[in-house]
Amino acid sequence: MSYKIAVASSDRINIDGNFGAAHEFLVYEVAESGKYVFLEIRKTPEEVKEPSACKDGCAGSGCGGLKGNHPNVEAIADCRCVICKKIGFHIQKQLEKKAISAFDVEGEMEDALQKITLYFHRVDHHQTLRRISNETLK
């Protein structure tokens, strides 16, 4: 079964976007074989929610307050995971409720995509995650 990965990158080379501040996500589709292809650029909603204190006491620092999920969470709701430079705790919780894995890493996008698709391939096929050699990554 194929799935999608959203990546916050401004230059299509490096993972350099913070989740809450991302204006767009690069969406990749991953086939059953683990190979991935670029699918689309997904713009995030332009509406900006007014900061408001939520019951968790975040004072509107990006969780969406009492109004629901952050607009960027809704924008990638059909993805299996998101890769970004930084992601806040409250948004991670919102993603977890939608069964979206979050990886906050910095570096080259190609390297991260290879490692994460390999990780999901091994998990889906009940393979060990212990030793990942360079040969396996190719």
Residue type, 137: L
For Cα atoms 81, 76, 87, give the angle at the middle one, nearest 5 degrees. 60
**Buried-exposed string 60-98: b where 16+ CB fall within 10 A, e elsewhere:** eebbbbeeebbbbbebbeebbbbbbbebbebbbebbeee
For residue 127, what pLDDT is reported? 87
Long-range contacts of 55-62 (CB under 8 A, 24+ apart): 56/90, 58/90, 61/88, 61/90, 62/20, 62/88, 62/90, 62/91
One-character DSSP codes across 102-115? EEE--EEHHHHHHH
Tokens of 103: 């990886």
List the domain range (segments joined by +) for residue 97.
3-137
User: Mean pLDDT across the stretch 1-27?
Assistant: 95
Domain of residue 18, CATH code = 3.30.420.130
> What value does the mean pLDDT take over residues 18-37?
94
Helix (H), strand (E) at residue 135:
helix 134-137
What is 18-42 written as a DSSP string? BTTT-SEEEEEEE-TTS-EEEEEEE
29-82, pLDDT tens digit by residue?
A: 999 888 999 999 999 987 544 444 444 445 444 554 546 889 999 999 999 999
pLDDT at 68: 80
Domains identified in the chain, total number: 1
Q: Can you tell me the distance from the alpha carbon of 128 to that of 22, in angstroms, rounded to the nearest whole number?
A: 34
pLDDT band at 132 (very low <50, low <70, confident <90, very high): low
pLDDT surpassing 70 at residue 93: yes
